[in-house]
């Protein structure tokens, strides 16, 4: 039996009232297009949104980076963009950075996370989508869920999980080609930590089990400013994570999201804010944020998806959301200052550079007397 492919392709193609959420009409337009035109190509599909980003999760047998699947999603976003323009939505088509489709959507704006799997008799997996942040936001939770026994009890309790994992980490600042490194746990956890402490540059692209060689994680690594050469919106990543058996348990994969770690992407994509775990189809509000992450659990059989189980829709996460709100308020109290905003290497794609250039001319050197 051919392997099954899980594909997530997502884009911001317009939203209501600023960067809050897509309209129902826009979501329905994208979903209708995929369901009609994807007949005979995809097995199943789920379309949803996190903040202002629309994600298309599909199952099929075509493998990763398949032209037909990517074209289907690209065209759905094109048709959606027209609907967004008709409604006067903000930022209509903003993530579609290229004029015409060329083979697959990598490097064209939309984010992609895909993996080809040998479907297990029971195949649980998690679909993460984040808004108002960038792909490095998943670095810390992935490290903790796969390499730290403080979060992953399986590293103590399961001989197969104890064998560790291989991390493929991408240097997203290198734009000429894919520049990546393979590092394994547990031997190289400190090397992994050295890289992941810089989430704007080093992003986990995939994680593989050392017990069975199977892929556990596929995450996107798109940095829009590297494609566009200027600031065109935050990259708002998606990710697929398989769970249970030889992979971490679902609860282990979710457990690091209790931290509400500070990530890039709050207001105008230029501030740091804590990552808040939110319910399905949540919107955006305070200071165009805070950065949010949603997680839907699915089971899949012969390519057919169950309905999603909303992982952060449970009373425990209400408590976390309150704590994260406090962290958001705390960092916002210092406004533009220091750690509240991103480093200059990120801000160099924004208007700050213009101001600095102007001020540069007015600096004087005081001669020592
Ligand atoms: C991400 C997001 C933000 C905006 C950014 C720029 O979903 O909405 O990163 O893209 O705030 O916004 P505009 O284009 O309105 O200046
Ligand atoms: Mg946006
Ligand atoms: Mg967004």
Kindly report, residue by residue over 172-210, the tens digit of the pLDDT: 988 888 899 999 999 999 999 999 999 999 999 999 999
Asked if residue 1 has pLDDT above 70, the reply is no
What number does the ligand 1 atom closest to the CA of 233 have? 10
What number does the ligand 1 atom closest to the CA of 19 have? 8
What number does the ligand 1 atom closest to the CA of 51 have? 7
Q: What is the SS3 assignment for 132-143?
A: CCCHHHHHHHHH
pLDDT at residue 39, as a whole number: 97
154: confidence class by pLDDT, cuts 50, 70, 90: very high
Q: Is the overall model pTM greater than 0.85, yes or no?
A: yes
Q: Check if 236 has its Cβ closer than 6 Å to any atom of ligand 1.
A: yes
Q: Tell me which residue has its CA closest to atom 12 in ligand 1.
A: 268
Looking at per-residue pLDDT, the higher value among 184 and 2 belongs to 184
* Residue percentage of the chain with pLDDT more than 90: 89
Total Cβ atoms within 10 A of residue 48: 20
115: confidence class by pLDDT, cuts 50, 70, 90: very high
In three-state secondary structure terms, 34 is helix
Mean pLDDT of 285-301: 98
Asked if residue 231 has pLDDT above 80, the reply is no
Token pair listed for 351: 């208007």
Ligand 1 centroid to Cα of residue 13, in Å, is: 12
Asked if residue 33 has pLDDT above 80, the reply is yes
Token pair listed for 143: 């490290």
Token pair listed for 96: 């579609």
Q: Check if 225 has its Cβ closer than 6 Å to any atom of ligand 1.
A: no
Q: Tell me which residue has its CA closest to atom 7 in ligand 1.
A: 132
160 is a catalytic site residue? no
Tokens 């004029």 map to which residue? 99
Task: Report the distance separating Cα 219 and Cα 56, nearest Å.
Answer: 15
347: confidence class by pLDDT, cuts 50, 70, 90: confident
Ligand 2 centroid to Cα of residue 31, in Å, is: 20
Q: From 311, 279, 293, select the one nearest 139 (Cα to Cα).
A: 293
Q: From 27, 46, 50, 22, select the one nearest 265 (Cα to Cα).
A: 50
- Which one from 10, 21, 62, 234 is the annotated catalytic residue? 234
76-99 burial, b at 16+ Cβ within 10 Å, e below that, comes to bbebbbebbeeeebebbbbbbbee
What distance lies between CA 271 and its chain's CA centroid? 17
DSSP bridge partners of 59: 6, 44
């Amino acid at each position: 039996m051919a392997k099954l492919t899980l594909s997530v392709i997502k884009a911001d193609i317009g939203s209501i009232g600023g960067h809050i959420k897509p309209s129902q009409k826009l979501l329905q337009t994208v979903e209708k297009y995929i369901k009609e035109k994807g007949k005979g190509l995809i097995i199943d599909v789920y379309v949803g949104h996190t903040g202002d980003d629309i994600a298309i999760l599909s199952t099929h047998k075509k493998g990763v980076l398949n032209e037909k699947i990517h074209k289907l999603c690209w065209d759905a976003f094109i048709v959606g963009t027209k609907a967004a323009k008709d409604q006067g939505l903000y930022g209509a088509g903003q993530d579609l950075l290229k004029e015409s489709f060329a083979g697959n959507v990598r490097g064209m704006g939309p984010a992609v996370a895909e993996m080809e799997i040998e479907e297990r008799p029971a195949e649980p997996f998690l679909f993460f989508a984040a808004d108002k942040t960038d792909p490095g936001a998943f670095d810390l939770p992935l490290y903790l869920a796969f390499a730290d026994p403080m979060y992953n009890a399986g590293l103590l309790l399961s001989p197969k999980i104890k064998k560790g994992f291989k991390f493929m980490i991408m240097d997203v600042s290198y734009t000429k080609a894919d520049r990546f490194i393979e590092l394994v746990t547990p031997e190289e956890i400190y090397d992994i930590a050295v890289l992941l402490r810089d989430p704007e540059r080093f992003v986990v692209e995939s994680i593989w089990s050392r017990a069975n060689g199977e892929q556990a994680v596929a995450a996107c690594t798109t940095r829009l400013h590297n494609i566009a050469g200027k600031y065109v919106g935050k990259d708002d990543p998606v990710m697929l994570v398989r769970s249970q058996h030889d992979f971490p348990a679902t609860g282990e994969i979710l457990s690091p999201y209790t931290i509400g770690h500070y990530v890039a992407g709050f207001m105008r994509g230029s501030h740091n804010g804590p990552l808040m775990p939110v319910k399905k189809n949540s919107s955006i509000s305070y200071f165009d944020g805070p950065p949010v992450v949603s997680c839907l659990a699915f089971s899949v059989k012969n390519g057919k998806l169950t309905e999603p189980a909303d992982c952060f829709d449970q009373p425990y996460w209400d408590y976390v959301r309150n704590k994260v709100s406090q962290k958001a308020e705390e960092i916002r109290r210092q406004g533009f200052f220091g750690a509240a905003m991103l480093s200059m290497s990120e801000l160099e794609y924004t208007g700050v550079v213009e101001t600095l250039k102007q001020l540069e001319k007015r600096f004087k050197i005081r001669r020592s007397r």
